[in-house]
């Protein structure tokens, strides 16, 4: 069936070959749960496309690189004192530097040159992380970006913006019901609205469909075991499960909708010649079970 990389290249190459780069760059959204291989895919996509199209400037960035600074992350405790999902660490909606993200996307779309994109050092502040020093940032020189691959674990998730629908999800889920409806569920849904304008920059979208969220725990534990082998230290299995627990409510609220319908960008023209979604369904060993390209503008499934 081919690797995730080959399937993704087969999807993107026809789009790139017919794209008018004089008019606008391509922004590719990539979504996958923790441990699914989205970062690996994104970095290897960038390298492969650079080899195939050396005349095009291809880069990849992660939402993980655009977290709030450590100082601003600490200030969230004052902003949201009753929401431990957000204040206990980075990662969830509300923990990213949205103005900075929007500025970067604008620079790419406007084909600006000579600017830098921050990176994030997760090892700073005893593992709580902080923005890297400027010498570690990604430097965009005198060539504008032609292809931007932007990866993140909740890319394409859309807020529900309906209290009754939110309440029904909260009331019928044993896990969600453990959370405070007003201070956690409603707040996270509201914060997710801040990301929608970013998603609307995606010209095409690649996402991993994982049928069982237990896979996320398994994959993240495997990653931690590999880290321990390399560095000699890391989290226990129970600590990893507790770490992943913070993310599960967001999956329960929004992931099913994305898996069913893909991501639809309302700003794309309805007569586009390419299919704007690639859905890759993964098994428990991160193996491809099936994949499908489709246009969210014309059909749902």
Q: Which residues pair with 279 in a beta bridge?
A: 207, 292
Q: Please give the pLDDT value at position 224.
A: 87
Contact (CB, 8 A) for 28 and 46: no
Superfamily for domain range 4-158+195-267? P-loop containing nucleotide triphosphate hydrolases (3.40.50.300)
Residue 223: CB partners within 8 Å, gap ≥ 6?
35
Q: Which of 135, 14, 16, 137 is nearest to 66 (CA)?
A: 137
Q: Please give the pLDDT value at position 273.
A: 60
Q: Please give the pLDDT value at position 299.
A: 39
Per-residue pLDDT for 269 more than 70? no
Whole-model pTM: value is 0.94
Q: Please give the pLDDT value at position 297.
A: 62
The secondary structure of residue 135, as a DSSP letter, is G
- List, for residues 155-211, the tens digit of each pLDDT value: 999 999 999 999 999 999 999 999 999 999 999 999 999 999 999 999 999 999 998
Mean pLDDT of 235-258: 93
Mean pLDDT of 212-226: 92
- List, for residues 57-110, the tens digit of each pLDDT value: 999 999 999 999 999 999 999 999 999 899 988 999 999 999 999 999 999 999
127 pLDDT band (50/70/90 cuts)?
confident
CB atoms within 10 A of CB 231: 8
Mean pLDDT of 1-17: 94
The secondary structure of residue 133, as a DSSP letter, is P
Q: Please give the pLDDT value at position 9.
A: 98
Q: Where are the domains of the chain?
A: 4-158+195-267
Taking phi first (over 0 means left), then psi (-120 to 50 degrees means alpha), and beta for anything else, what does residue 91 get? Answer: left
Per-residue pLDDT for 300 more than 50? no
- List, for residues 112-125, the tens digit of each pLDDT value: 999 999 999 988 88
């Amino acid at each position: 069936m081919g690797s995730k990389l080959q399937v993704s290249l087969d999807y993107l190459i026809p789009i790139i070959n017919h794209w008018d780069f004089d008019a606008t760059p391509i922004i590719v959204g990539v979504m996958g749960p923790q441990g699914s291989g989205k970062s690996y895919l994104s970095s290897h996509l960038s390298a492969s496309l650079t080899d195939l199209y050396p005349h095009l400037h291809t880069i990849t960035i992660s939402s993980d690189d655009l977290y709030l600074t450590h100082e601003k992350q600490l200030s969230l405790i004052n902003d949201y004192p009753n929401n431990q999902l957000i204040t206990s660490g980075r990662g969830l909606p509300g923990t990213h530097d949205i103005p900075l993200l929007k500025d970067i996307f604008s620079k790419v779309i406007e084909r600006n040159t000579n600017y830098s994109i921050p990176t994030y050092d997760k090892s700073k502040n005893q593992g709580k992380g902080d923005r890297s020093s400027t010498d570690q940032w990604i430097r965009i020189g005198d060539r504008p970006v032609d292809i931007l691959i932007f990866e993140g674990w909740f890319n394409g998730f859309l807020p529900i913006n309906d209290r009754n629908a939110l309440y029904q999800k909260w009331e019928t889920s044993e896990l969600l019901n453990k959370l405070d409806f007003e201070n956690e569920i409603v707040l996270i849904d509201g914060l997710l609205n801040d990301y929608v304008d970013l998603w609307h920059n995606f010209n095409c979208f690649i996402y991993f469909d994982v049928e069982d969220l237990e896979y996320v725990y398994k994959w993240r534990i495997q990653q931690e075991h590999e880290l321990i082998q390399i560095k000699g230290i890391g989290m226990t299995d129970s600590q990893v499960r507790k770490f992943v627990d913070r993310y599960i409510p967001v999956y329960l609220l929004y992931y099913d909708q994305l898996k069913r319908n893909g991501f639809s960008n309302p700003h794309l023209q309805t007569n586009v010649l390419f299919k704007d979604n690639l859905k890759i369904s993964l098994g428990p060993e991160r193996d491809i079970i099936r994949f499908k390209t489709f246009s969210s503008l014309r059909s749902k499934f």
